[in-house]
Amino acid sequence: MKIAIFGQFYHKHSEIPVEILLKHLLNKNADIYIERQFFKLIHDELENDEPFYAFNTFDLLDSTYDLLISIGGDGTILRAVTFIKDLGIPIVGINAGRLGFLATIPKECIEIAIDDILKGEYKISERSVLEITTIPKNGDISEMNYALNEIAVSRKDTTSMISVETYLNNEYLTSYWSDGLIIATPTGSTGYSLSCGGPVITPDTNSLVLTPIAPHNLNARPLVITDSTEIKLKVSGRENNYLVSLDSRIATIDNETILTIKKAAFNIKMIELINDSFLRTLRKKLLWGEDKRN
């Protein structure tokens, strides 16, 4: 099995799970590749990294890889997805961060979880992805124009609100007068959208949600739509530009640019261990339905 490993940080919260993972993989019959910058961080911080010199490094992935292991938090998984793109490589996250809603493997279960995955004892959860195009074309997002969690537009160099003119399948919906607008996938419904009052959507639901950010209209509420909908946005405001974020990546866009957002032609394959599920994660991570009166 050809396995890629990606991480963004090597600090006091991640050093133990990183060492556990790498030492455990040394004893496995697997071809291990560590992302080059992450390997450099390990080399700079770890006193004795000589055993890990048996591992190779990578800059880009291709279809020969069987698995990508992300070690960090949910932000690290979102960054790791940019390596996978449309290759269909399954990804699993080891939680060395805080909440870990996407990075579901806790550090105390790394060895057991890796053994189960290597034996094929897991499920695949297909996660939809958003893609964006702009008119005129914007170079900052044209090459990596997709997001697993959400695409959001927001004000940039102003305290004034922006107007987000919104069309669904070329039919006018409304103009959101707000700090911005989030278009989230079911995966992203538990992130930024949830913080702005959006609903939780299960990953197998063929839906997207539009969630305004701090709207000035009392009747502006999150809207759930089918994921086959094409969304067009045109933003205007007092400043000349605004921000578009794709998960953890940000670009500056000029006012009056036409944004077209739709479901991408590929999915991301998230690994779930046999005893894990989205609903179990809701209860465990978001304390879903917890009531001290019960």
The predicted model scores a pTM of: 0.90
CATH of the domain at 101: 3.40.50.10330
Residue 198's pLDDT is 96
Residues 72 and 10 in one domain: yes
Dist. CA 41–CA 239, nearest whole Å: 40
- The string of pLDDT tens digits covering residues 18-31 is 888 888 888 887 89
- Token pair in block for residue 282: 């809701």
Helix, strand, or coil (residue 281): helix
Per-residue pLDDT for 293 more than 80?
no
Decide if 51 is inside a domain. Answer: yes
Residues 77 and 185 in one domain: no
- The residue segments making up the domain with residue 12 are 2-120
Residues 141 and 111 in one domain: no
Decide if 285 is inside a domain. Answer: no
List phi, psi (to 5°) of 283: -65, -40
Residue 289's pLDDT is 82
Of the three residues 97, 120, 143, the one that is the final residue of a domain is 120
Helix, strand, or coil (residue 26): helix
Decide if 276 is inside a domain. Answer: no
Residue of 49, 59, 66, 74 with catalytic role: 74
The domain total for the chain is 2
What is the b/e burial string over 187-226, where b = at least 16 CB atoms within 10 angstroms of the residue's CB? Answer: bbbbbbbbebebbebebeeebbbbbbbebeeeebebbeee
The H or E element spanning position 251 is strand 249-254
- What mean pLDDT is predicted for residues 67-79? 92
- The string of pLDDT tens digits covering residues 236-276 is 988 889 999 999 899 999 998 999 999 999 999 999 999 88
Judged by average pLDDT, the poorest of 136-140, 187-191, 212-216, 254-258 is 136-140
Residue 12's pLDDT is 66
Residues 139 and 261 in one domain: yes
Does residue 74 carry a catalytic annotation?
A: yes
CATH of the domain at 150: 2.60.200.30
**What share of the chain in percent tops pLDDT 90?**
64
